[in-house]
Chain A
């Protein structure tokens, strides 16, 4: 969406400084035509007849793959020293669009590799403070009524690079690649807990995976009864092994670590179990030396994915700024964009559907005149919470909290069109 001519009537459509234009420029065909007109003819010559226009293409395959020309659209990953599958992989948001993350590039976080689980041998045990401890097979779970919901999943550590004193020279994949969004389908956890008969003294669950790390977390019973899902399907197909095959817990809006993958056991308890990942990790160290514990929902947040580092501006003209916004507390109600480092803001268009606790795509029209710019976005959710600046967040929380960074990300654009991560 680019036009090399400088005839864009930016003043007529200006909504904020440094070239931000009324979103109706894109949404209204008339306005767009008025602004863009037609591109000038390219140099003369016939349009080529390519080989694929003349010869039959490839045969069918059982399970399709992206075009070989899209080989850069892959996760990046790193493992702990001495391991091959203990670490995280990150979604290439700068190369994607829409609100759904394809299963092959959904982010992953594993604590001892990806177990190779035979679904026929997998069991889910529910026990503890219940009338009837129960064992479920995949076959039996498959007989229960299912429901689907689109939900983002975000690692509690996503964005932690922004706590660093200097801006990391990286892009959206390295900084914000630990969030993805999928349609998850499965059985309501409340249905299974009701069948087991939860004791009135119970307030928490201990949930545990069948991986070699036995990943375990404590989950408030109230959340489990509200909207937790025993997820079996991800974007219409069985959950991928790296995302919990054959079942994972889905806790909409909560930090990713709690959505325990390869779920094998749920113990109903009175209090939290104080597992390693809710004490030594996933707690937020504050400047006074105290740490915040049980920080469950991911706070409202947004980031511009196009343009962003790794993508270069190709000359002055009209561009679409696009990005993602989400909140673990509800729906995104507004996203504002700035092209002048936060001096002036204008509302972006929200791509429908806008769903609670799902990634929301926003779009903004921008006439880049070829000068320096700092692009930012800030989200407001339907509780009225406004995403803070990085400086505001650090003033409140310090730089040692590591987790749950939700401040504003800034992309600096230089006169030659290079896009860099900056603090502004």
Chain B
């Protein structure tokens, strides 16, 4: 396997580029099989590419939330002991402390799926099924008034969800 990838890489180096630094590269990376990539490729961008099959509703999500999330994030996502997930609209301006939640602050709904699936619940991350993740996402979007009680979230719908603070961000540039 080592010789195979080594020869492959050397051949492609010779064929494609003539870069002295690259020629000195030991070229020890092994070609990753598609199933190896698939098992680790869990990041979901704003276009929703890579979202898995499955779906969930707010009602289904409420059950998952109560069992897995409420202890840290409070009743209906109100927060305490950890981050509030619901509310805070209108707190980004003015003198009061900002309450930055999924509803008041997060620009992309896809981020919610990505983050819950990879990192939550904190003490057993990556344990929820895809349906459970879609359901919790649907529940949090519904609690924030972004979708209705009877709507379903799936791979097609999630990237099209319009988040309230979608236009609230500017790319930083030094000196501006």
Residues of B within 8 A of A400 (CB): 92, 97-98
The answer to whether B111 touches A276, judged by C-beta atoms less than 8 angstroms apart, is yes
Q: In the complex, what's the smallest C-beta–C-beta distance from A156 to chain B, in angstroms?
A: 12
Q: In the complex, what's the smallest C-beta–C-beta distance from A120 to chain B, in angstroms?
A: 15
Given contacts A133-B37, A280-B100, contact A274 B45 (CB under 8 A): yes
Is B122's beta carbon under 8 Å from chain A?
yes
Is A271's beta carbon under 8 Å from chain B?
yes
Is A168's beta carbon under 8 Å from chain B?
no
The answer to whether A267 touches B41, judged by C-beta atoms less than 8 angstroms apart, is yes
Q: Which of the 9-residue segments B20-28, B61-69, B148-156 touches chain A? A: B20-28
Q: Tell me the residues in window 1-54 of chain B with beta carbons closer than 8 Å to chain A beta carbons.
A: 5, 8-9, 12, 16-17, 19, 21-22, 24-32, 36-37, 40-46
**Bound-complex Cα distance A287 to B100 (A):** 14
Q: Which of the 9-residue segments A188-196, A310-318, A333-341, A345-353 touches chain B? A: A188-196
What residue of chain B has the Cβ atom nearest to residue A188's Cβ? B21
Most chain-A CB neighbours within 10 Å: which of B12, B111, B171?
Answer: B111
Cβ contact of A289, chosen from B46, B71, B93, cutoff 8 A: B93
**Bound-complex Cα distance A334 to B113 (A):** 47
Residues of B within 8 A of A289 (CB): 92-93, 168
The answer to whether B22 touches A86, judged by C-beta atoms less than 8 angstroms apart, is no
Given contacts A285-B100, A291-B170, contact A191 B45 (CB under 8 A): no
Cβ contact of B16, chosen from A197, A206, A269, A283, cutoff 8 A: A197
**Bound-complex Cα distance A289 to B164 (A):** 12
Most chain-B CB neighbours within 10 Å: which of A274, A284, A400?
Answer: A274
The answer to whether B98 touches A285, judged by C-beta atoms less than 8 angstroms apart, is yes
Cβ contact of A195, chosen from B25, B44, B93, B170, cutoff 8 A: B25
The answer to whether B169 touches A293, judged by C-beta atoms less than 8 angstroms apart, is yes
Is A81's beta carbon under 8 Å from chain B?
yes
**Bound-complex Cα distance A34 to B44 (A):** 68
Q: Which of the 9-residue segments A12-20, A48-56, A211-219, A363-371 touches chain B? A: A211-219
Interface SS of chain B: helix, strand, loop or mixed? Answer: loop
Interface SS of chain A: helix, strand, loop or mixed? Answer: loop
Is A5's beta carbon under 8 Å from chain B?
no
Is A80's beta carbon under 8 Å from chain B?
yes
Cβ contact of A285, chosen from B8, B19, B92, cutoff 8 A: B92
Q: Which of the 9-residue segments A136-144, A174-182, A354-362 touches chain B? A: A136-144
Is A78's beta carbon under 8 Å from chain B?
no
What residue of chain B has the Cβ atom nearest to residue A207's Cβ? B43
Q: Tell me the residues in window 100-159 of chain A with beta carbons closer than 8 Å to chain B beta carbons.
A: 111-112, 125-127, 131-136, 140-141, 143-145
The answer to whether A213 touches B81, judged by C-beta atoms less than 8 angstroms apart, is no
Is A344's beta carbon under 8 Å from chain B?
no
Cβ contact of A279, chosen from B25, B97, B106, cutoff 8 A: B106
Given contacts A112-B122, A192-B29, contact A265 B171 (CB under 8 A): no
The answer to whether A131 touches B115, judged by C-beta atoms less than 8 angstroms apart, is no
What residue of chain B has the Cβ atom nearest to residue A210's Cβ? B40
21 contacts between A and B (CB under 8 A): A127-B32, A133-B31, A133-B32, A206-B43, A214-B119, A265-B40, A265-B41, A269-B45, A274-B110, A279-B107, A280-B100, A280-B102, A284-B172, A287-B93, A290-B168, A290-B170, A292-B171, A293-B170, A293-B171, A293-B172, A296-B172
A: residues with CB less than 8 A from B are 80-83, 86, 111-112, 125-127, 131-136, 140-141, 143-145, 191-192, 194-197, 206, 208, 212-214, 216, 264-265, 267, 269, 271-276, 279-280, 283-285, 287-297, 299, 329, 400
4 closest Cβ contacts across the A-B interface? A134-B29, A81-B81, A214-B118, A140-B28
